[in-house]
Amino acid sequence: MQSSLIGIVLLLCLISTTAGAAAQSWRALTPAQREALAPLVQQWDTLPEKQRDRLLATAKHYPRMTPEQKQRYHERLPTWSKLPPEQREAARKNYRALEKMPPDKREQVKQRAKQEQEIKDRQSASGVTATPSSSQQ
C-alpha cells in the first residue's frame, strides 16, 4: 500500500521535474523572491516562462550577495530582462570568453571598461552628450 503511494508520488514528481513548473506569476512568488526581483515587478507577468525560471534561479543567490552585488544585480535586472534572447546569449558567450583570458589581461579589460562607463555616467549626469566636459579652472 505504501509502495503504490510512493510510486504515484514518484511519478508525479518525475512529471513535474521534466515538464517544468507551472508558470510563476508575481502573486505566486515568495517575499524573498519578490525582494530579489523587485525591479521587475511591472514586467514580470509579461515575461516568457523560461525567462522567469532563469531569473528565479538567479534570485536564489540574492540573500547571500554583498550589498554591492545586490545593488548591481538590481540595477541590471531591467536592462537584462529587456534584452532579446540572442543578445543575452551573446553576453554569456562574451563573459565566458572573458573568463578564459589570463588574469592580468582580464583585469585590464575590466579597468578600461569601468573607466569608459564612468566617463559615460559623468557625461549623462551633467547633461553633456558628445563633447567632453570643459576643464573646471
Partner 1 sequence: MITELDPNKIAQLLTQSTRQIDAATLSALAGARRNALTRQSVHSPVFALTTGRWMLSLIPHSTQQWAATGLLAAMLVIGSGYWQHAKEQQISDLDVAILTDELPIETLLSDSHRT
Partner 2 sequence: MTICYHGKTLKKVTKLSSPAELDLFLKGVERRAFKQALFAVRDDHTALDIVQDAMLKLAEKYGGKPVEELPMLFQRILQNTIRDHYRRQKVRTAWTTLFSSLQPKHEEEEFDPLDVLEDSENQSAPATPDISLQQSQVIALIEQALVKLPPRQREAFLLRYWEGLDTTETATAMGCTEGSVKTHCSRAVHALSVSLKAKGVELP
* Site for partner 1, rule CB under 8 A: 2-3, 6-7, 9-10, 14, 17-18, 53-55, 57-58, 61, 65, 68-69, 72-73, 76-77, 79-80, 83, 87-88, 90-92, 94-96, 98, 103-104, 106-111, 113-114, 116-117
Closest by Cα among 89, 86, 81, 87 to 44: 81
Q: Does 12 bind partner 2 (CB under 8 A)?
A: yes
Q: Based on CB atoms, which residue is closest to partner 2, 21 or 41? A: 21
- All three cell numbers of 7, joined, read 510510486
- Cα gap 81→94, rounded to integer Å: 17
**Burial environment of residue 84 by CB neighbours within 10 A (0 to 12, 13 to 18, 19 or more):** exposed
Q: Report, in Å, the least distance between residue 61 CB and partner 2.
A: 6
Q: Based on CB atoms, which residue is closest to partner 2, 9 or 83? A: 9
89, 97, 98, 99 from 93: Cα distances, Å: 6, 6, 9, 10
Residues lying near partner 2 in the complex (CB under 8 A): 9, 12-13, 16-17, 20-21, 53, 61, 64-66, 68-69
